Amino acid sequence: MTNSRAEWKTLKSIVLIGNHLPRKCGIATFSTHLIESIAQNAPDKDCWAIAMNDRPKGYPYPPRVRFEINQNQLNEYAMVADLLNLNQVDVVCVQHEYGIFGGQRGSFIIELLRDLNIPVVTTLHTILKDPPLQERHIMMQLAEFSDRLVVMSERSIEFLRDIYKVPEEKIVLIHHGIPDVPLVESDTYKDKFGLSGKMVILTFGLLSPSKGIEVVIEALPEIVKAHPQVIYMIVGATHPHLKAEQGEDYRIGLQRRAKELGVADHIVFHDRFVTDEELPEFIGAADI
């Protein structure tokens, strides 16, 4: 598989495997925007999606989602591989994140890729620096069965090359990107959130551990000493899987720690899943 323009012109069908809106998660948002953007910019290609479901009833997907996989049913992965081979799809784009595929640490997706006779491009949303043995093995298998691995940072290239021994010529860097919105002074959006005159630090996305929120809260007392006008705005509902297991314990723990540190008045939680239309307003209000 090369990345020549001539080969791109010969492609007729592109299929994305991952989560898809209206499922509420970051991968669903990313995957939906990606396949819609490809379809918009390449109207001569047949672009469609296969959605991963975390619940038996699935979601009310749009027509672009033609098939669904119950993430915990291994036989459905094999059925999809047969379907894609039978339809002679030109390229499959996998959105990989831990937790969206079934099996131990998401191993079921490897069974699907192993059965494909089609070029595969896999976007890696999380690359662990110190992976347990099973996660390391899965990542190395993803690399083996993918013709290209897409990452979003230079550091990710280093991890794949040095930790997982992936040949660098197999890795492509494509930065995550941001919404295309007009450049407007941040005060315009700050007024909307009652933050006029404040310096706003922003975190957005579904709330769950290991996103660095705890680190910012721990650092906030020192930040506030130097910049008393700082507000840390945390935007996003608690991740559905985390909420199902623990309720709102994680969010409550963050709030409790902020109170212990004396910085609760410098933190604003927006506990909801924001729409594509709302998100640029939050981003526009942020200084950091």
**For the chain, how far is it from start to end, CA to CA, in angstroms?**
40
Structure confidence at residue 44 (pLDDT): 92
CA 30, CA 35: separation in Å to the nearest integer? 9
User: What are the two backbone dihedrals, phi and then psi, of residue 134, each rounded to the nearest 5 degrees?
Assistant: -70, -40
Residue 203 is predicted with a pLDDT of 93
Q: How does pLDDT run across 130-153, given as a tens digit for each residue?
A: 999 999 999 999 999 999 999 999
Task: Assess whether the region 5-173 and the region 186-285 belong to the same CATH fold.
Answer: yes
Q: What is the pLDDT of residue 121?
A: 97
Domain 186-285 adopts which CATH fold? Rossmann fold (3.40.50)
CATH code at 5-173: 3.40.50.2000
Tell me how far CA of residue 36 lies from CA of 20, 32, 46, 48, 121, in angstroms. 11, 6, 11, 9, 17
Amino acid at 22: P
Are the beta carbons of 157 and 182 closer than 8 angstroms?
A: no
Query: What pLDDT is stored for residue 6 in this prediction?
Result: 59
Burial class (CB in 10 A: 0-12, 13-18, 19+), 89: buried
DSSP state of 177: -
Q: For residue 42, count other CB atoms closer than 10 A to its CB.
A: 14
Map out the domains of the chain as residue ranges: 5-173, 186-285
Question: Which SS3 state, helix, strand or coil, does residue 248 take?
Answer: coil
The Cα–Cα gap between 7 and 205 comes to 36
Cα 6 to Cα 3, 12, 44: the distances in Å are 8, 13, 15
Please provide the DSSP assignment of 249-283 as one string. Answer: HHHHHHHHHHHHTT-GGGEEEE-S---TTTHHHHH
192, containing H or E segment: helix 186-192
| Residue segments in the chain with a per-residue pLDDT below the cut of 70 | 1-6, 179, 181
- Over residues 106-115, the pLDDT tens digits come to 999 999 999 9
How much is the pLDDT for 116?
96
Rounded to whole angstroms, the Cα distance separating 80 from 52 reads: 11
